[in-house]
Amino acid sequence: MVSCYYRYLNRKNMKKKIKVAILFGGKSAEHEVSLQSAKSVYEALDKNKYEPVLVGIDKQGKWQLQDRAKYLLNETNPKLIALNKRAGECVALVPGEQSKQLLTMEGKGEARGVDVVFPVLHGTFGEDGTMQGLLKLMDLPFVGPSVLGSAIGMDKDAAKRLLHDAGIPIAKFITFRAHEKKDIDFRKVAKQLGLPLFVKPANLGSSVGISKVKDEKSFWRAIDDAFKYDSKILIEEFIKGREIEVAVLGNEHPRASVPGEVVPTHEFYSYEAKYIDENGALLNIPAKLPKPVVKKVQELAVRTFKTLECEGMGRVDFFVTKSGKAYVNEINTIPGFTKISMYPKLWEHSGIKYPDLIDRLITLAMERFEREKKLKTSYEA
């Protein structure tokens, strides 16, 4: 169902396209992944219906209005891809300006408006609620979960505690903060969780900072590496099972895609396997699972999505054991959007093509914005 606000925009802009600000890059270890995703989103966006406004955020947090012809350097090389910092003027967001939210900081200082924002920002400062909070303050509709869902989804510790309370199966885990590093005891951890085990930053994605540990020597290397990316880390039991992923789409009534399976050719589905090595993993879509298991992971995916207060989109990752038991590993609230990424591929195999998926996500953003605009923000006695 297309929202009234969306229809209003279409009527108002019959000759004027809907302006979609695509935010990408950002201050995150997943900066390069974001560039790849944004390139795919921009190329797939229906240019007859939407006017893309490219806003690149560099690793220092500077926002730049990007020239569509030259916004990326080495765009076909995932190892060398980079934001072209010389491609456009610096911009800032202006609160309270309904039609002129983007202000250029150089030259004439011109302002321009956008109708909706598509944040293609993976990891910290983009997927963790910080950007979503800024966009809410700017009174702008945006794609993906709002502040709470984004923050919870990014924090694996908080997410797993909520999932556990909701009765959703998860792996056993222990959380440590940076000031507790001296209290970590390898023997106690190994006794509690077994070997091998995983060490990972609590707030990050794309498998950055994650290590599979088989002995004490690699354990301490993994601890040091994980603490480089976050002040809180998880040590988690190893679940021997198939890596199954399910995409979720929707607001109040989300639906699940067909499940897909990741078969890594590396030790596990690492950053290199996902984005660098073209042969890093095989993606089997749909996954070859018994019908009861398919139904189970789809139901668990939607339950996870709702439990973690998500809207718009999310990709729920599972481990499925030989016996058919499914454990939720994590949710990604701004999943990879490259042409080979699982989220768009899962929906393609579920009957929604890439351009149509982007269109639906923008519609969902508009619908939520319309719904929230009806809420009172001031009290009248």
- Give catalytic residue positions: 30, 206, 275, 315, 317, 330, 332, 336
Closest CA to 249 of 139, 359, 129: 359
**C-alpha 332, offset from chain centre:** 5
Contacts of residue 147, Cβ cutoff 8 Å, sequence gap at least 6: 129, 132, 133, 136
CB 66 within 8 A of CB 56: yes
120 CB contacts (<8 Å, ≥6 apart)?
A: 22, 23, 24, 34, 37, 38, 41, 334, 337
323: β partners? none
Tokens encoding 42 = 């921009």
Location of structure tokens 């309904």: 98
What is the residue type of 40? S
State the helix-helix crossing angle for 156-165 and 147-154, rounded to 10 degrees.
100
Is the alpha carbon torsion for 276, 281, 286, 290 positive or negative? Answer: negative
CA 154 – CA 205 distance, rounded (Å)? 8
Helix boundaries (H) for 290-335: 291-307
Is residue 355 within 8 A of residue 337, CB to CB? The reply is: no
Contact 331, 308 (CB under 8 A): yes
Pairwise CA distance, residues 166 & 302, whole Å: 13
Of 369, 301, 296, whose CA–CA distance to 331 is shortest? 301
φ and ψ of 307, to 5 deg: -60, -35
* Residues in a beta bridge with 121: none
